Structure 1
């Protein structure tokens, strides 16, 4: 069984002498396409590295400025403490109350608010129990706040240290 020469077979086999030129030409085109893609990849990788470094520097700068602004506000409180320290005993209490108001206002401006806990059920997300004592309040109720807890934008930044009721002892 012999194959009859057809146009398709001729294309597959190629003509004598033209095969190396066609392969060479195709190989050169593929090599050029590979080099172009590799160059684009290397440039893209370098751009991404530069982007990451730039974002890290920008984040560091933003953080530094945020801390600096907050520190400047806190320095007002320190100035008032120094003035209260130099005051006589009669105006000392009034000065301390003013300092507390200023400090509370600064915290509220930054959305830092105290956790309200006395008389509420114990919540391990915002409370840390330091004592579990018998009391008239129902079991699991916070009856005393030892150290106040704080939230910033609905995130607990410091848990309140509380005393929890064990209920009435019989």
Structure 2
């Protein structure tokens, strides 16, 4: 430990020493205050910048959310329109069939040959319209019985292989590999 009695500067400081010490302390305090003020200004600037960035991101998020909702709404409307008007092209193909049937009803000639030709033509128009609408006929005579596409009414003894279709009582219809109506059939009994 240092002896304070041996050091004359610490024993009796002069007024000049004391003023210098006070000036040094004041300068240090001013520097600390200035540093703290500069630090506060920097922190406030950083805070303001962060708040501006948050506001910008919130606005961007809200715009993106609104755009997503608009896309979802438009897609929903398109799906509804597609469901509502999906049959439109098929209905347009059926219009000539309706015209032919109305013409047949308006005919008063009584000529059976002419009526038969008209009905045959109308049936061909209808078949064509169905094919264009991807509706195909199930007429499975001689085919293996398929419970997904056929409905068996009865089993009959027959010369053909067991579980094959012997006769079609009512044709079935398929649209794009989906059964609209199964064919009503009789099936060969096992021997």
TM bucket (normalised to shorter chain) is: 0.7 to 0.9
The normalised TM-score by structure 1 is: 0.72
1:4 aligns with none
User: Does the 8 A contact of 2:151 with 2:182 survive in 1?
Assistant: yes
2:55 aligns with 35
The Cα offsets for residues 117-153 of structure 1, whole Å up to 9 and x where unpaired, read as 1111112332233334443332221222232222333
User: Does the 8 A contact of 1:85 with 1:92 survive in 2?
Assistant: no
2:184 aligns with 161
The Cα offsets for residues 53-102 of structure 1, whole Å up to 9 and x where unpaired, read as 22333344445554333223212212211222343251222221111011
2:129 aligns with 106
Match of residue 46, structure 2, among 21, 26, 44:
26
SS of the residue aligned with 2:189?
A: strand
**Residue 19 (structure 1) shift:** 5.0
| Unpaired stretches in structure 2, ≥5 consecutive residues | 1-34
User: Does the 8 A contact of 1:136 with 1:167 survive in 2?
Assistant: no
1:92 aligns with 115
**Residue 16 (structure 1) shift:** 4.1
Match of residue 93, structure 2, among 69, 73, 78:
73
Structure with greater Cα Rg: 2
Task: Give the number of equivalent residue pairs.
Answer: 154
User: Does the 8 A contact of 2:168 with 2:185 survive in 1?
Assistant: yes
Rate the CA distance shift 1:85–1:33 in 2: closer, same or farther, 3 A.
same
| Unpaired stretches in structure 1, ≥5 consecutive residues | 1-14
1:54 aligns with 74
The normalised TM-score by structure 2 is: 0.66
